[in-house]
Amino acid sequence: MKIAIFGKPFDPEKQATAKRLLDIFKKYPIEIVLDNDLREILEQMNADIPYASFSGYDFDADMALSLGGDGTFLKTAERVGKKEIPILGINLGRMGFLADVQEDEAEAAIGDIAAGRYTAEKRSLLHVTEGSRAAWPYALNEAAILKLDTSSMLAVHAYLNGAFLNTYQADGLLVSTPTGSTGYSLSAGGPIVAPQATSFVLTPVAPHSLTMRPLVIDDNDEIRLVAESRNGHFLVSLDGRSEELNSGDSITLRKAPFAIHVVKHNGRLFGDTLRKKLMWGVDLRSHR
């Protein structure tokens, strides 16, 4: 088995954790290759790195390992792309919906991976088929149309399968996947959607009218968005990677023809994650 490991700059405590996790792999017949950025971080600690490294998208592996939070997981998903190899996220960050293996679970998770005891969930992505210059025009969480800085609100004209749906007067409009429903969309008032659902969610950001509510659509629908702004520009963001477009420009979105495969350890269910991360069922009154 060959695993490609990705990470980002950590604080000193997390750097030590990353080094400790790498040492665990020495117990198993697993070939390790490191992303160059992670190698540079560990070399700053004078760590002994007996592994080959790679840069960019030029790697092959049976699995990818993301050391960090959900942001690091999203960057790892971009690097994995169409390879469709499963990704295990070990959470060295905060919330951890995607990177949901905690530090104290990591050693057991690595042992189970080595023994082949794991499952992987398919997660759909959005594909910007027209209107973007992005080098990687896909989003695992969401595609967002957003106003620039403190400019006035946008008018976003939305079309489903070529038919006019609505004009959103708002600070922006999000099109999220089920995976992204617990991210930006949730903070903007969107619904939580089970990861395996075959749907996308349109969620307005700070809409001018309270009747403009989030809308769940079929993930086979084609979505075209035309944004108009008084200052002549707006932002398109794909999982936080932004580019500026001109007022009147449009983007077209469809479901991507490939998926991201998220490793789930110990058969963890979505409901378990909601209870743990969002404290569902916790009576805060008992802590007063």
Active site includes 62?
no
- Strand 31-35 and strand 2-6: the pairing is parallel
Residue 82 host element (H or E):
none
Phi then psi for residue 207, to 5 deg, are -70, 150
Smallest Cα–Cα separation from 269: which of 201, 191, 194? 194
Q: What is the 3-state secondary structure (H, E, C) of 16-52?
A: HHHHHHHHHHCCCCCEEEEEHHHHHHHHCCCCCCCCE
Helix or strand or coil: residue 284? Answer: helix
Set 70, 100, 171, 239: catalytic member: 70
Give SS3 for 81. Answer: helix
Which distant-in-sequence residues (6+ apart) come within 8 Å of 194 by Cβ?
Answer: 178, 270
DSSP letter at 100?
Answer: -
Angle CA 70–219–165, to nearest 5: 110
Bridge partner residues of 236 (DSSP): 145, 243
- Specify the amino acid at residue 155: A
* 120 burial level (CB within 10 Å; 0-12, 13-18, 19+): middle
Q: How far apart are CA 171 and CA 155, in angstroms?
A: 9
**Which residues have a catalytic role annotated?**
70
